[in-house]
Amino acid sequence: MKTALVCGAGGFIGGHLVKRLKSEGYWIRAVDLKLHEFSTSPADEFIIGDLRNQAFCNEIYNQNFNRVYQLAADMGGAGYIFTGDNDADVMYNSAMINLNILNLAKVHGADAIFYSSSACIYPEHNQLDSENPNCAEDSAYPANPDSEYGWEKLFSERLYLNFSKNFNLNVKIARFHNIFGPEGVWMGGKEKAPAALCRKVAQAVDGSEIEIWGDGNQTRSFLIVDECIDGIQKLMNSDFPGPVNIGSEEMISINQLAKLIVQISGKNLSIRNINGPVGVRGRNSDNTLIFQKLNWQPKSKLRDGIEQTYRWILRQVEKKEKPSV
Ligand code: NAD
């Protein structure tokens, strides 16, 4: 039986990945600091522990796996990574996890090891124009990410690439661009823009207003999580190592995204732009390389994914507001 180790399986993308691997017939050892908050994991084993701890890592990565997926990281949306308050934790925690996992990959190996990097590694100077950001893979250097989160991702990409070079590991690296969807964090400070906006709209009283951080003209693209998993698996099944973007090229401003969600909700809401952490002016996935190497591109439209996500978040909001007796 094919085996997989999924680190970060209690998180958003890891949770969806476990479900996909199960449907593909894998025996799965899932690992995280916590259980998945929104669904019961179908993993064969779910081990709770801290991947910063090498002794714990020795216990969970104690054999050869067909696949290792390293998604665990200390991360969150703009409210978490752009305030500066969490920078030391973000860098230390995620770097420790990656160092520990690679150290064991050297010993036990794997047919393929996946590392989840981020669009946040791209240089700030190429993302100043909201209409024409450049996020082609080869634009990553000279490096100038706009967050410490991005610097850690870039450092860890290099770690994976050098372990691949020196210890003959089959490493695969993807740079995710704003993955969203049901069963992701939607409140509490770590949520990202699509979930935060869906929550604000779901909670808003008809006829009121919602607050949007920044002037709202900053642009991004968003990819529904199922399509992200397709991209991960295509990369893992290929002989291409990356780093490669996994994202959508359907760029939209944050105010437009908010208007789309308001439209889906059927409510009459106005938008008020306020000061807040925003990140780069513009960012969009460039899918030239992934299409060329893996023949992959997103199949669905942003609106479809947002609709699905809004309905899910609306249900969470309703559950919270009207707890069952
Ligand atoms: P997530 O926060 O939902 O999942 C990360 C998981 O890692 C969490 O469940 C967390 O508990 C776990 N974790 C953190 N520290 C740990 C530790 N010390 N030991 C064990 N587990 C630990 O995030 P996600 O959105 O599912 O992202 C998965 C990966 O993809 C992350 O590496 C993230 O940086 C990367 N990424 C995500 C996006 C996105 O849009 N969601 C974009 C770019 C990159």
CA of 206 to the centre of ligand 1 (A): 34
Q: How confident is the model at residue 78 (pLDDT cuts 50, 70, 90)?
A: confident
CATH number assigned to the domain covering 182-221+251-281+301-320: 3.90.25.10
Centre a 10 Å sphere on the Cβ of residue 289 and count the other Cβ atoms it contains: 16
Give the per-residue pLDDT at 324. 60
Mean local confidence (pLDDT), 153-167: 98
pLDDT at 323: 66
State the alpha helices, DSSP H only, in the chain: 12-23, 54-60, 78-81, 87-108, 148-167, 193-203, 225-236, 254-265, 288-294, 302-321
Least confidently predicted of 88-92, 118-122, 196-200, 274-278: 274-278
Mean pLDDT, residues 278-297 taken together: 96
Q: What's the 220 CA to ligand 1 centre distance in angstroms?
A: 20
* Mean pLDDT score, 73-98: 93
Q: Residue 190 — very low, low, confident or very high, per pLDDT cuts 50/70/90?
A: confident
188 near 251, Cβ under 8 Å?
Answer: no
Task: Return the top range by mean pLDDT from 75-79, 89-93, 129-133.
Answer: 89-93
pLDDT at 162 over 80: yes
Segment 50-76 shows an average pLDDT of: 97
Please check the confidence at residue 9 and state whether its pLDDT lies above 80: yes
Nearest 5°: the CA angle 26, 31, 32 is 140
Residue nearest to atom 44 of ligand 1 (CA): 118
Cα 209 to averaged position of ligand 1 atoms, centre (Å): 31
Round to whole Å and give the CA distance between 243 and 161.
Answer: 9
* Pocket test residue of 176, 187, 232 for ligand 1, highest count of atoms within 8 A of CB: 176
115 contacts 152 by C-beta, under 8 angstroms: no
Pick from 12, 190, 192 the residue to mutate for probing ligand 1's pocket: most ligand atoms within 8 Å of its CB: 12
Per CATH, the number for 3-179+223-246 is 3.40.50.720
Residues with CB under 6 Å of ligand 1 are 8, 10-14, 32-34, 50-52, 71-75, 93, 97, 116, 118, 176, 178-179, 185, 192
149 catalytically annotated: yes
Give the ligand 1 atom nearest the CA of 15.
26
Of residues 61, 149, 160, 310, which has the active-site annotation? 149
Q: Residue 175: enclosing H or E segment and its boundaries?
A: strand 171-176
Closest residue CA from atom 28 of ligand 1: 71
For residue 70, report the distance from its CA to the centre of ligand 1, in Å.
9
**Domain-by-domain residue ranges, the chain?**
3-179+223-246, 182-221+251-281+301-320
| pLDDT at residue 277 greater than cutoff 90 | no
Q: How far apart are the first and last CA of the chain?
A: 44
Residue nearest to atom 11 of ligand 1 (CA): 33
pLDDT of 79 reads: 84
Residue ID of nearest Cα to ligand 1 atom 1? 11
Model pLDDT, residue 48: 98
Phi, psi of 110, deg, nearest 5 = -170, 150
Band (pLDDT 50/70/90 cuts) for residue 320 is confident
* Per-residue tokens: 95: 């770097």
Question: For a pLDDT cut of 70, what percent of the chain falls above it?
Answer: 99
Q: What is the pLDDT of residues 11-56, one digit of tens each?
A: 999 999 999 999 999 999 999 999 999 999 999 999 999 999 999 9
Residue 143, pLDDT > 80, answer yes
Mean pLDDT, range 199-219, rounded to an integer: 96
Ligand 1 geometric centre to CA of 34 (Å): 12
